[in-house]
Amino acid sequence: MAGPTGRGGTLGGALNDLLRAQVTPRHRLSSYHARHWHAQLSHLTATHRGYQALEDAGLDVTARTLLNWLSDAEYNVRRSYRDLIHTAYENVAVVPADPLPDRVTEGQFEISGIVRTGNDERERGTRRAAPLRIDASRGDWTTIEALWLAGELTDVEFEDHFVDDVIVADIGEGTDGWEFPGASYSVELRYAR
């Protein structure tokens, strides 16, 4: 069954485009931009999730103390408490990435663009040449998923690990490894049946 397509100037860019259309990446909520401890505390105490983040960060003060802090932005709060408020604020401000779904890690990838292995370089996914088909279920997605969850899956990292951990696991090393030196790629994800 045909699925979505990702596009990019590199294979890694196309893979990231495809993945971001499938699952939510780690990101920062745009409404969380306060820098001062008082503004951060005000924001946190406006929601249950914020109170939970304060508790998880280790801030253990009485309700009266919180009220004193909130009523005076110039209140003398110890640095250690300001650090805990900042930690809680950052934890609430960052939305974790969704894990990679089975439809991605077990799907079939069809790569269109210039593919090189050794001296063999050709454009795949044209009328003359089929796309490069990869069975992702044979690959090891551990490193790719760890980078994704940490918010550190760059286009370069994705391409490197996809080649080493997914392509090579499915079809082998190629003549002299796999390279994707083109300037435009599309990757279609076909779901396993």
Give residue-wise pLDDT tens across range 6-55. 999 999 999 999 999 999 998 888 888 889 999 999 999 999 989 999 99
For the question of whether the overall pTM of this predicted structure is more than 0.85, the answer is: no
Q: What's the chain's average pLDDT?
A: 93
104 shares a domain with 9: yes
Confidence of residue 144 (pLDDT cuts 50, 70, 90): very high
Tens digit of pLDDT for each residue in 113-133?
999 999 999 999 999 999 999
What's the total number of domains in the chain?
Answer: 2
Q: How far is CA 174 from CA 56, 149, 151, 171, in A?
A: 49, 30, 31, 8
For residue 90, give its domain range: 28-95
54 shares a domain with 34: yes
Q: Give the end of a domain, one of 79, 95, 111.
A: 95
Distance, in Å, from the CA atom of 161 to the CA atom of 164, rounded to the nearest integer, reads 5
